Amino acid sequence: MLKQTVSTVSEHIFPGIGYSFSNNSSLPQCKERNEAVSNFPLQMALFFNVAFFPVWLTTIIVMLPLKFEKLPDLNKIILIIALTAAVLIEMTRLYMGYLGNLTGNIPGLAGFWMLSLLLQSPLQLLMLLPALRPGVVELVSQSVMCCLLAVQLFSGFLALSDLARYSSARFHVSQFLAEK
């Protein structure tokens, strides 16, 4: 009863999005509806990351001149390259995360997860190194970004596996219905 009421209210607020299950089966019934499959913890982590990104960027840019004069020349070059790459990758990664999670797009979500794991994680951890002499404010800001990244990696993996499982089940149901 409660499930049906929530589905009805959801259908009026967000037309075309909904779950539709029969009482004796756990497979979705075939109706003309679009079902949204997204991961709420991932979406919340992405939201907080988008909100915190300008704070992090401002902190990094404000602290850059203070520590730039203390760094050796090689570390200055590494820092500038890492910051530029991290900012560009972060914007791309957040866009792909939103796109992949909200639309149920497996390639977008997989791209988000791979960018997070292979590129953004090493860059964020590099900026925490003592050789780059992060200040206290910068260390706190960078730690928050690393924590958000860790949550996004974990919840992104779960979202990706759930979405792949859902797409596989949907494909098998459509194949079964096509045979009839």
Do both 147 and 63 map to the same domain? yes
* Whether residues 147 and 89 fall in one domain: yes
Q: Is the pLDDT confidence value at 49 over 80?
A: yes
Mean pLDDT over all residues of the chain? 86
Give the pLDDT band of residue 132 (cuts 50, 70, 90): confident
At 26, is the pLDDT very low, low, confident or very high (cuts 50, 70, 90)?
Answer: low
Number of domains in the chain: 2
What's the pTM? Answer: 0.77
Same domain, 7 and 78: no
Is residue 121 a part of any domain in this protein? yes
Are residues 98 and 126 part of one domain?
yes
**Domain containing 69: what range?**
40-164
Average of pLDDT values for 26-40? 64
Give the DSSP letter string of the chain.
-HHHHHHHHHHHHSTTB---B-TT-SSBP--S-B-----HHHHHHHHHHHHHHHHHHHHHHHHHHHHHTTS-HHHHHHHHHHHHHHHHHHHHHHHHHHHHHHHT-HHHHHHHHHIIIIIIHHHHHHTT-GGG---HHHHHHHHHHHHHHHHHHHHHHHHHHHHHHHHHHHHHHHHHHHH-
Same domain? For 26 and 52 the reply is: no
